[in-house]
């Protein structure tokens, strides 16, 4: 459909287009190609974009999880991870616009490429990106900060505070275990060697 034909349409009216998705024709913003080799370049660009998008989305998700491990009082707009997250959001926004422009190419080959590249991108992203930088020490500190100062089990609706109290209480009971609960087996005799073998088995 030419621009002249579109301009002749009455306001509020619609008509069919000449686009044939199951062909090698290409219809992009400001660009139309009929059975052109440019289709191969667009397909290659689509693969790069979709692989990159999956990698970036996985990276963003990882940054979000790591940020949520940090107490809210220690997070602000100038935190290094927040700034890095904003940068990736900007990049993915730009790439996302490019992706939308390609999707509107109205070509089934491009659509199929997007689906396959998405699947491959997910596999590559989740099998190659490094594991989350999980901090057990930070989680332990956050848990201890929830421990009630009066040493009594909290009766409020803070379920996490009650779990913290129960965990610390259980840990204290284990550490205070009487030595009588520890059994030793000493001076076992090894018949194959003919010599006594000192061995201690600790049973908690």
What confidence category does residue 60 fall into, taking pLDDT thresholds of 50, 70 and 90?
Answer: very high
CA distance 22 to 38: 16
Residue 200 confidence (pLDDT): 46
Residue 184 confidence (pLDDT): 46
**Where exactly are the structural domains of the chain?**
15-133, 137-197
Per the document, the length of the chain is 204
Kindly tell me if the per-residue pLDDT of 88 is higher than 90: yes
| Highest mean pLDDT pick, 30-34, 114-118, 126-130, 165-169 | 114-118
CA distance 88 to 79: 14
Residue 187 confidence (pLDDT): 44
For 57-80, the DSSP string reads: HHHHHHHHHHHTTS-GGG--TTSH
Residue range 33-45: average pLDDT? 83
Q: What is the value of pTM for the model shown?
A: 0.58
Residue 134 confidence (pLDDT): 66
What confidence category does residue 178 fall into, taking pLDDT thresholds of 50, 70 and 90?
Answer: low
Kindly tell me if the per-residue pLDDT of 16 is higher than 90: no
What confidence category does residue 192 fall into, taking pLDDT thresholds of 50, 70 and 90?
Answer: low
Residue range 130-142: average pLDDT? 72
3-state secondary structure 125-156: HHHHCCCCCCCHHHHHHHHHHCCCCCCCCCCC
Q: Are 109 and 43 in contact (CB under 8 A)?
A: yes
């Amino acid at each position: 459909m030419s621009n002249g034909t579109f301009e002749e349409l009455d306001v509020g009216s619609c008509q069919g287009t000449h686009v044939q998705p199951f062909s090698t024709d290409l219809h992009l913003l400001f660009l139309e190609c009929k059975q052109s080799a440019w289709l191969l370049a667009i397909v290659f660009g689509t693969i790069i974009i979709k692989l990159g998008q999956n990698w970036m989305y996985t990276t963003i998700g990882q940054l979000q999880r790591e940020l949520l491990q940090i107490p809210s009082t220690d997070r602000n707009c100038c935190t290094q991870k927040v700034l890095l997250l904003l940068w990736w959001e900007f990049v993915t926004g730009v790439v996302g616009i490019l992706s939308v422009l390609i999707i509107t190419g109205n070509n089934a080959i491009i659509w199929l490429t997007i689906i396959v590249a998405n699947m491959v991108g997910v596999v590559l992203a989740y099998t190659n990106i490094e594991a989350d930088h999980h901090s057990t020490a930070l989680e332990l500190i956050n848990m201890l900060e929830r421990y009630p100062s009066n040493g009594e089990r909290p009766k409020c609706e803070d379920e996490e505070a009650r779990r913290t109290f129960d965990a610390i209480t259980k840990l204290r009971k284990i550490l205070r275990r009487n030595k009588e609960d520890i059994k030793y087996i000493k001076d076992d005799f090894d018949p194959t060697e003919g010599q006594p073998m000192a061995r201690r088995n600790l049973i908690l």
